[in-house]
Structure 1
Amino acid sequence: MLALGKINRLTVKKQVKFGFYLDGLSWGEILLPNNVAPKDLQIGQTLEVFLYLDSEDQLIATTERPKIKVGEVAMLQVVATTKVGAFVNWGLKKDLLVPFSEQQLPLKEGQSYLLYCYVDNSNRIVASSKLDRHLHKTPAPYQAGDKVDIVISEQTDIGYKAVVNHQHWGVLYKNEVFKPLRRGDKLNAYIVKVRDDGKIDLRLNAATYKQALELTTQILAKLEQNGGKLALTDKSSPEQIYASFGVSKKAFKQAIGTLYKDKKIVIAEHGIILVPS
């Protein structure tokens, strides 16, 4: 099934002087202009194209890849403000419209904003800065440990608000973050849990048994290298822990808790001590 504003795989139906017509099935023939057609393109060949409306609102195909597709979020720069709304650069010849009704605050030329792209009731591809209007409309289908793509939205008192897989809201807590993040940054993250209210807790490092085992091994090795003592405890700062092991404070606390339960270490006031074997 073809989709406007997304990548579609179509077959070349015929060639004309100004380009190629692709078989759009029930949508009819769709023009792929010469300037975006691959060299040596042949009739009968299939290729992946992005479908959008040109300046005359005619359906057209391109092999160029936009900075955002329908159903996605991305940081885009405003190139013009007009009486119908703001236009942003999304990497195609025709700029993308952000209608006034879809602006959380008036967009300013030259500034970049985190936007969601969708097809409106008039069958136009448009964008919106009112993310709450478009995100988190379906139940979050994730399980603990799932790897997801996130886009940073904003910094809050507890950490960072992020868009998960372009569809849901999630939170990265500040004790899980050890590098500066900016709005629009794209990262991989892992699901910690989906809460009863539907909100999603995230972390940047995978919480797997293998990693936990590796961390306890690393801690024991460092203890042996340092004469059985290490000046880190569950009270140490996240920065100190990350500098030593490259993990979050939570992961470190879990690891030394495991070692303590296994009677391999003692947790003292100023550090941890290796129990002689």
Structure 2
Amino acid sequence: MNTLEVTREEERGIYLEAGTDGEILLPIKEVPEETYIGDMLDVFIYRDSADRLIATTWTPKAMVGDFVVLKVTQVTPHGAFLDWGLVKDLMLPFGEQKRKVSQGINVVVRVYVDEETRRIAATARLGRYLGKTGRRYLENEEVDIMIVDRTDLGYRVVVEGEDWGLLYHNQIFQALEVGQKLKAYVLETRPDGKLDLILQKPGPQKAMDLSQQILDRLKQSGGFSELGDKADPSSILAAYNVSKKTYKRALSQLFKERKIIFEDGGIRLVQ
């Protein structure tokens, strides 16, 4: 993104001053109303099909350096093209595909600038950009992740845009989708530098949070809930996004603290 000054106007659009890159055209159909010479405009700069720098007032779904999930709009003899929110689709060259893609599917890519053509492109070969910084993570540290793909062990994810991580199937209690972004917590860093992660807050804080959620729902529902210690696991998962084992542990703690009692068919808040 650049903030550039309007220098002149022609029939096909206006020109913006871009320093050593000279003047860059903003096509007439994208020129905001009441734009005048000397105005400053926020624009995105990229190369058109003729390899010329061109400006747009549209904002792409991802910038250079971002990891993002995009839909394949078409596959041509030159490569696949992805919808990234601009008139001109983003190219995913065949050499940058880990596996063959087809029209209509979503693919996780990283946006980069091709060193030879200087064009912005996409790559599905994410590994070359991950695990390079040597960043150290603390146990239980909260991190931002993006789901990349599903494996036999669990889901591979990109952590903080810098490292590989893994969520194991037996520790996932919610539906996940490729490209989804969410918070996770570091269990440990493996010898190869990759991270083992969980989605729920670890330790006492997690139990405290769940207990408070249970109490809040009881208050909102008149002091009674059908989700007792014999409730169906799927109902517990839908309500609290935790396993039945974790839920029963929280109920047990609340019972010991004399905040709830067990009744046939559910639990009741102690007044």
**3-state secondary structure, aligned to 1:68:** coil
Aligned to 1:133: 128
Aligned to 2:61: 67
Q: Distance in 2 between matches of 1:224 and 1:113?
A: 47
The partner residue of 1:215 within 213, 216, 233 is: 213
Aligned to 2:149: 154
The 8 Å contact of residues 263 and 275 in structure 1, kept in 2 or not, is answered as: no
The partner residue of 2:74 within 66, 79, 90 is: 79
Q: Distance in 1 between matches of 2:200 and 2:22?
A: 45
The partner residue of 1:119 within 113, 116, 131 is: 113
The partner residue of 1:107 within 85, 101, 105 is: 101
Aligned to 1:90: 84
Q: What one-letter code is carried by the residue in structure 1 that aligns with 2:87?
A: K
- Cα distance change on mapping 1:50 and 1:119 into 2, 3 Å: same
Q: Distance in 2 between matches of 1:257 and 1:158?
A: 31
Unaligned runs of 5+ in 2: none
Q: What one-letter code is carried by the residue in structure 1 that aligns with 2:229?
A: L
Q: After superposition, give the CA deviation of every residue in 1:19-66 in whole Å (9 maximum; x if it has no partner).
A: 222232343322211122212112232232111111121111101233
Q: Distance in 1 between matches of 2:105 and 2:259?
A: 55
The 8 Å contact of residues 53 and 124 in structure 1, kept in 2 or not, is answered as: yes
Q: After superposition, give the CA deviation of every residue in 1:91-110 in whole Å (9 maximum; x if it has no partner).
A: 43333222232111233345
Aligned to 1:4: none
**3-state secondary structure, aligned to 1:60:** strand
1:27 maps to 2:10: no
What is the Cα-based RMSD across aligned positions, in Å? 4.0
TM-score by length of 2: 0.73
Q: Distance in 1 between matches of 2:35 and 2:71?
A: 32
Identity among equivalent pairs (%)? 34
Q: Distance in 1 between matches of 2:123 and 2:266?
A: 52
Aligned to 1:252: 247
Aligned to 2:228: 231
The partner residue of 2:174 within 178, 187, 206 is: 178
Alpha-carbon distance, 1:163 to partner: 3.4
**3-state secondary structure, aligned to 1:231:** coil
Q: After superposition, give the CA deviation of every residue in 1:217-269 in whole Å (9 maximum; x if it has no partner).
A: 2477589636xx96317xx76423224x42312763563464366465799xx
The 8 Å contact of residues 215 and 255 in structure 1, kept in 2 or not, is answered as: no
Q: After superposition, give the CA deviation of every residue in 1:129-180 in whole Å (9 maximum; x if it has no partner).
A: 22222334335587757474x543223345433334554444445444334x
Q: What one-letter code is carried by the residue in structure 2 that aligns with 1:101?
A: G
Unaligned runs of 5+ in 1: 1-6
The partner residue of 1:199 within 195, 199, 216 is: 195
- Cα distance change on mapping 1:39 and 1:271 into 2, 3 Å: same
- Cα distance change on mapping 1:194 and 1:127 into 2, 3 Å: farther
The aligned length equals 259
TM-score by length of 1: 0.71
The 8 Å contact of residues 13 and 25 in structure 2, kept in 1 or not, is answered as: yes
Q: Distance in 2 between matches of 1:191 and 1:114?
A: 19
Moved over 6 A (4+): 204-210, 270-277
The 8 Å contact of residues 17 and 23 in structure 2, kept in 1 or not, is answered as: yes
- Cα distance change on mapping 1:147 and 1:23 into 2, 3 Å: farther
